[in-house]
A and B are shown apart, each in its own frame.
Chain A
Amino acid sequence: QVQLQESGPGLVKPSGTLSLTCAVSGASINTSNWWTWVRQPPGKGLEWIGEVYHSGSTDYNPSLKSRVLISVDKSKNYFSLRLTSLTAADTAVYFCARGFSGVGLNWFDLWGQGSLVIVSS
């Protein structure tokens, strides 16, 4: 059974940096999937942050691109999110997900349980 599990600090200071990891268990990260981060501010909708392929290739949400870095560690079978220059607007539940993308196709078939990150002093 394939599972994704987010981990990282739940509280980060304004202007600081958020670092989260997503451990992939039950399957190799070295597959034809896009490993993805999605966030959801309290009471609001889903926002795509970005994605990484096992090769290290990435794509990011243009609105966050200047502050985001997503990377993959194939040896440890996890991928990571780094978000800098945090403000209260970055307070959200952060989900990792397994994505599939093809010609005219895109979906996320597996999600982590989510990790609440609060930006506050």
Chain B
Amino acid sequence: SSELTQDPAVSVALGQTVRITCQGDGLRYYYASWYLQRPGQAPVLVIYDKHKRPSGISDRFSGSSSGNTASLTITGAQAEDEADFYCSSRDASGKHVVFGGGTKLTVL
């Protein structure tokens, strides 16, 4: 399958740690990239090249990967982390990009 699967919704208590996962065959060949999207805004890259963070992205965000599963971990979740999170990679052929369905993170 060329799809990426994410849990539709996840919640975390303020200050706690949460892991958002992404599964798909393409992840055996390509590292996932992760995007944060707030309502009405464009996605923002938060993790790339498995675990790297772009300049300006909080070190609360970290990435990891194993087999066909990629994970985004938010350590010490803050209210401003409440958003939709999407994973992405290429499919096994490398010719097409795929996105996960997105995970809505609620910070309680």
Contact = CB atoms under 8 A, between A and B. Distances in A.
Interface of A: 36, 38, 45-48, 51, 59, 61-62, 95, 99, 101, 104-109, 111-114
B96 A106 contact: no
Shortest Cβ-Cβ A-B pairs, 5 listed? A107-B33, A107-B48, A111-B42, A48-B97, A45-B102
Interface stretch (B13-21, B71-79, B82-90): B82-90
A45 B44 contact: no
A62 B2 CA distance: 11
Given A104-B31, A106-B30, A112 B42 contact: yes
A4 B97 CA distance: 20
SS class, residues of chain A in contact with chain B:
strand
Given A109-B54, A111-B42, A45 B33 contact: no
Nearest to B37: A46
Contacts of B90: 101, 106
Contacts of B33: 106-108
A1 to B, nearest CB: 12
Interface residues of B, number: 25
Given A45-B86, A105-B31, A111-B44, A51 B49 contact: no
Contacts of B96: 48, 59, 61-62
A101 B26 CA distance: 14
B12 interface: no
Given A111-B42, A111-B44, A112-B42, A104 B30 contact: yes
B9 to A, nearest CB: 13
B99 A106 contact: no
A107 B44 CA distance: 11
Contacts of A48: 88, 96-99
